[in-house]
């Protein structure tokens, strides 16, 4: 079975120093067929950091990306 990795950037409204709660929330919200491959943090400007989530999905699941 083939898998797809979808990369998504999550932009916070305010400065967040610790993304652990956000990461847990994202992991809980995913459909059962999806999983997080890894998270990355990317600095934008003035202390603002964006969270990048790499999510693995099975290719055969219709509409899985839309659910996320």
CA distances from 65 to 24, 38, 48, 61 (A): 19, 17, 27, 9
Nearest one of 7, 19, 5, 28 to 50, comparing CA atoms: 19
Q: What is the pLDDT of residues 2-61, one digit of tens each?
A: 888 999 999 988 888 899 999 999 999 998 889 999 999 999 888 889 999 999 988 877
8-state DSSP, 31? -
The residue range of the domain holding 40 is: 3-67
Alpha helices in the chain (DSSP H): 20-29, 64-67
Number of structural domains found in the chain: 1
Please say if the pLDDT value at position 62 is more than 80.
Answer: no
Q: What is the pLDDT of residues 11-27, one digit of tens each?
A: 988 888 899 999 999 99
R_g (Cα) of the chain, nearest Å: 13
pTM: predicted TM-score of the whole model, two decimal places = 0.83
State how far the Cα of 43 lies from the Cα of 50, in Å rounded to an integer. 6
């Amino acid at each position: 079975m083939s898998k797809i990795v979808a990369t998504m950037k999550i932009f916070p409204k305010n400065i967040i120093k610790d993304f652990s709660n956000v990461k847990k929330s994202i992991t809980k919200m995913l459909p059962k067929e999806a999983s997080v491959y890894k998270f990355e943090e990317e600095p934008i400007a003035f202390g603002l950091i964006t969270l990048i989530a790499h999510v693995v999905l099975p290719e055969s699941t219709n509409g899985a990306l839309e659910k996320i």
